[in-house]
């Protein structure tokens, strides 16, 4: 007799099969997003999404592609997708065990756009079971974005541009040397030596100093006398001293004739071994390296003297060309050229600026001018007198950058200057600053790689570090500044002490400074900072609107609304 299955068992089996055939819907609990809320970093909104797929959740024949989507202002931007599959699917995706479940990690980033401050992050699904498409509802998994780091472009607009330096020196050290040569074993001054060009130049320099005592200052005369190292040491020591006395007496005689008074400091060297080595090295002797190597083996002066004498008897060039050059005394005038005083430069600027050097004009603009208008006037004058000196045009561009005038024209000027001065640090620094203002980090990196040594370079480099998402590095680079960049770096690095110090030391606060003060207040839970900062930006429509949507103030919405009505 056949046994028929009961209706109850058939119904139960059908129910079981039906339950297993359906794909389960994901919920917010399946996902964990870091960070929450989302944050702007280096031009992007990155997110790490961990997906928890519990046991008994994944269908064995399912393939599911998960795509994070950021939605804001009616715009939808898709991120990086990840695909998972059940264990009975023949494909190369991550396999999720139905029995045990699994965790998956997806890293994605969305190019930042204005408006993402109020974005919502959804996970969307493209699911199939076998050959059949299955619709799974989207799941909201995150929100944001905290875009405080995006303020780096605004901070760059208030950063100090690079000014080309002047090379003006009030006092320039100068030297004029003359050499007196002596015959072997002699220390007397020969008349033929007094007619040498170096002696004539020596005398001419003393005359010039006497006739220009206001602009030329005599410090002293150094006398250094020598003997060649081919004789007995005691004899050479005495001979070098006598040669020094001869040269010293001659120098004093010339001072008396010009009615000048200064110290004459005499020193002598008994054996000019260093000079001998230098002249032999510069000679055409084929065996010069061997000679020097052999002579260097002897440290005893007398032994070395004998060896030099022996070598000189073999190599006539040593006796005829090298050793005579070492029998000498050198007299060196040390003096200073004194430039115009500040008052004289300013007076000449009024009377006839064409009589000023490029360095004096740059100095007048960089140091003596007391405001940007007068700096621009002096720099414009310098540019007209010295049109081929790029520094004046760069400084005019820097003044325009500082005031926010016509950045497109400034950029065109800097590009033109860079074409003929590609490695000028200040030109590259200012182009890098412009790139940061435009949010072009890659160009900024290229320009700033050639900007080392430019004025305010560390500040611009610190702003680049912010734009790159290297916040701790930015704090270090900006530690000696107190501009908006330093405040912003401290906030982003969560180094609120440095941010507060920069805020307190800021000498030229603007509305961005006030906004950053409010953000710092929210981070530090300081309502007074929030209140003071937002009140100061209440007349700025752009920052007011930003504050209303800024997640930095998520816990202070009532305060924000009471100030920014």
Q: pTM of this prediction?
A: 0.75
What is the predicted pLDDT for the residue at 313?
59
Condensed to tens digits (0 to 9), the pLDDT of residues 191-213 reads 999 999 999 999 999 999 999 98
Condensed to tens digits (0 to 9), the pLDDT of residues 334-371 reads 999 998 999 999 999 999 999 999 999 999 999 998 89
Condensed to tens digits (0 to 9), the pLDDT of residues 26-55 reads 999 999 999 999 999 999 999 999 999 999
Nearest to 491 by CA among 469, 464, 520: 520
Over 50: is that where the pLDDT of 17 sits? no
Look at the domain 171-338 and name its fold. Answer: 60s Ribosomal Protein L30; Chain: A; (3.30.1330)
Average pLDDT of the chain to the nearest whole number = 91
User: What CATH superfamily is the domain 388-563?
Assistant: Tetratricopeptide repeat domain (1.25.40.10)
Over residues 86-98, the mean pLDDT reads: 95
Q: Is 249 left (phi over 0), alpha (psi -120 to 50) or beta?
A: alpha
Contact between 236 and 229 under an 8 Å Cβ cutoff? The reply is: yes
Q: How far apart are CA 375 and CA 365, in angstroms?
A: 5
Look at the domain 23-146 and name its fold. Answer: Immunoglobulin-like (2.60.40)
Q: How far apart are CA 189 and CA 515, in angstroms?
A: 80
Over residues 412-437, the mean pLDDT reads: 96
What is the predicted pLDDT for the residue at 316?
67
Domain range list for the chain: 23-146, 171-338, 388-563
Q: How far apart are CA 466 and CA 462, in angstroms?
A: 6
HSE, CB side, 13 Å, CA atoms: give it for residue 294.
13
């Amino acid at each position: 007799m056949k046994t028929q299955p009961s209706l109850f068992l058939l119904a139960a089996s059908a129910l079981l099969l039906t339950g297993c055939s359906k794909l389960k819907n994901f919920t917010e609990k399946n996902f964990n997003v870091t960070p929450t809320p989302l944050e702007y970093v280096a031009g992007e909104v990155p997110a790490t999404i961990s997906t928890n797929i519990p046991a008994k959740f994944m269908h064995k024949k399912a393939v599911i592609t998960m795509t994070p989507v950021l939605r804001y202002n009616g715009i939808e931007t898709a991120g990086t997708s990840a695909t998972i599959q059940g264990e009975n699917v023949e494909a190369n995706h991550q396999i999720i065990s139905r029995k045990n479940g699994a965790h998956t990690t997806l890293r994605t980033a969305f190019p930042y756009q204005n408006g993402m401050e109020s974005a919502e992050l959804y996970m969307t699904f493209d699911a199939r079971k076998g050959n059949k498409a299955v619709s799974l509802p989207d799941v909201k998994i995150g929100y944001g974005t905290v875009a405080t780091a995006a303020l780096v472009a605004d901070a760059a607009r208030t950063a100090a541009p690079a000014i080309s330096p002047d090379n003006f020196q009030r006092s320039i050290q100068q030297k004029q040397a003359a050499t007196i040569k002596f015959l072997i074993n002699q220390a007397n001054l020969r008349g033929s030596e007094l007619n040498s060009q170096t002696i004539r130049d020596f005398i001419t320099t003393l005359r010039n100093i006497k006739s220009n005592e206001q602009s030329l200052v005599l410090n002293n005369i150094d006398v250094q006398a020598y003997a060649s190292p081919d004789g007995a040491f005691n004899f050479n020591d005495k001979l070098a001293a006598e040669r020094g006395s001869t040269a010293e007496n001659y120098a004093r005689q010339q001072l008396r004739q010009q009615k000048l008074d200064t110290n004459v400091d005499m020193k002598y060297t008994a054996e000019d071994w260093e000079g001998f080595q230098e002249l032999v090295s510069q000679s055409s002797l084929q065996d010069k390296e061997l000679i020097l190597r052999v002579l260097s083996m002897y440290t005893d002066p007398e032994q070395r003297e004998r060896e030099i004498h022996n070598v000189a008897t073999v190599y006539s060039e040593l006796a005829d060309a090298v050793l005579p050059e070492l029998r000498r005394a050198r007299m060196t005038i040390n003096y200073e050229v004194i430039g115009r005083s500040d008052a004289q430069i300013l007076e000449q600027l009024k009377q006839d600026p064409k009589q000023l050097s490029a360095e004096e004009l740059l100095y007048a603009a960089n140091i003596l001018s007391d405001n940007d208008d007068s700096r621009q006037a002096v720099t414009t004058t310098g540019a007209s007198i010295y049109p081929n000196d790029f520094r004046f045009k760069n400084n005019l561009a820097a003044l325009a950058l500082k005031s926010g005038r016509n950045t497109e024209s400034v950029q065109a000027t800097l590009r033109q200057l860079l074409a003929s001065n590609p490695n000028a640090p200040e030109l590259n620094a200012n182009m890098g600053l412009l790139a940061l203002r435009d949010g072009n980090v890659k160009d900024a990196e290229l320009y700033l790689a050639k900007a080392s040594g430019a004025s305010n370079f560390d500040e611009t480099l610190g702003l680049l570090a912010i734009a790159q998402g290297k916040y701790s590095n930015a704090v270090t680079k900006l530690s000696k500044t107190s501009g908006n960049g330093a405040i912003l770096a401290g906030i982003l690095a969560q180094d609120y002490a440095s941010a507060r110090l920069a805020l307190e030391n800021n000498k030229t606060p603007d509305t961005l400074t006030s906004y950053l003060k409010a953000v710092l207040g929210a981070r530090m839970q300081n309502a007074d900072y929030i209140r003071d900062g937002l009140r100061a930006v209440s007349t700025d429509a752009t920052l007011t609107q930003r504050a209303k949507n800024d997640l930095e103030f998520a816990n202070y919405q009532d305060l924000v609304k009471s100030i920014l009505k």
